[in-house]
Structure 1
């Protein structure tokens, strides 16, 4: 009886949605702190300076250097304590907790209250809007670098299933220009994102050569090799370690070593006095002499 060969397992429907390829302008969801691994939480909070309040919020992908990049540049979108009923929203610049923030640093999506008409309202793709369209603001100082594995799909009612919000390209460019001009940590976050980019093959950066030019190069003349300086044997007379013996000095065939005094300017107040002048004590007057107490 031939053994039955096991049949390949049938593919079942994957209930977990596939992670999209995040591109600039797409709206993602920054996982809650409980949903992230301890390593990611340590990296985000202690190394990337991501505040606790940023977790569990929708975020906008601002920049990704390449499809293989492991980190992206994001900013948060918040309703700033607006209730689920979405009634009577209070903009953040009117809240006491945000009184120390500049009102000009808040950007509003279409339908939300704006600070002024200096900057236009932010726009999503036509026909799309946030679950709270009249309470969606962006703070331009909130720019963070996060790994892509902590981002998920932002899905909230009444959004249709499988919907991914995306900003209009012109509106995204306007937001990036505003952040590049007003965000205090923009340059630092850009440098951090570049540092986390994996090494590319065939980089176009110029390579600086530190090797010396060859002698065959017509534009460079080979410098002559420095010759070793050979001292004169007659001038090599050791002062402190002389080889003249005491017997040769007695026979007259040699001369005792002479100590050379250092020559240089002498400082008057450092000259050593050979003989100190005698100090004469003043003679006491007769009335100053101590008399015997018996007298």
Structure 2
């Protein structure tokens, strides 16, 4: 009974913590909308009156209805049907987000495998670590906008040896992989080195092989480091997928939608805002998915062990 009561109390405490996070996030969104509306109102009213204000017009740019549609116009743009389409624009953005999510998920998965493999290989040898870590870091200094067209052209021309047909969205996933593997490799390497010398000596005293030490000690100890990397990598995979869609010229995805709405900006600026907010929402979604997985595998087990 006492154990059941303790678990119930912990569950109630977690529920309250989650509720507080939802409230804080909702308040942040409301404050962000209020700040946006206030800036638009001050900047526009001063501009209309042709007066000067020490902030808007000198430090911050002025506003107008074209560059900054109102919050209500943006919300209405979610439900409005673009000309020639019998579908709400919000559902179009949702469909494009699902397309981008597929590319990002593939890129994230491959990036995690590549990054974790690099971390395991480098952790096995100090010589390899010292020689190759600078090159891993240097790989991230190359601008993504320069790599993306190369990857797309390379995929179209040189992937005919594969037993399946290569599509442009696969090139986009490779671009997402490029941004994903780095945080996993670096944080994974730190995590694999995190076990104490006493724990390693204990494994040696049991005559554990290197693979057993890796599986039973180093990998479990690296989980907190890895999940921190997964959160960064998941959001980075969305960024990589969106940039890759713009470079690859794919027919779907949020990147393509943002590009199209930017070209049509003068006829419907609120649609570009909706598309950009959809990309932000997708990034938050994948971050929350990784956080939920982290709670299920790491934090919850740690809490149960304490109980």
What TM-score comes out, normalization by structure 2 length? 0.19
**Counting helix residues as a fraction of each chain, which structure ranks higher?**
2
Structure label with greater radius of gyration: 1
**Counting strand residues as a fraction of each chain, which structure ranks higher?**
1
Higher RCO, Cα 8 Å, sep 6+: 2
What TM-score comes out, normalization by structure 1 length? 0.19
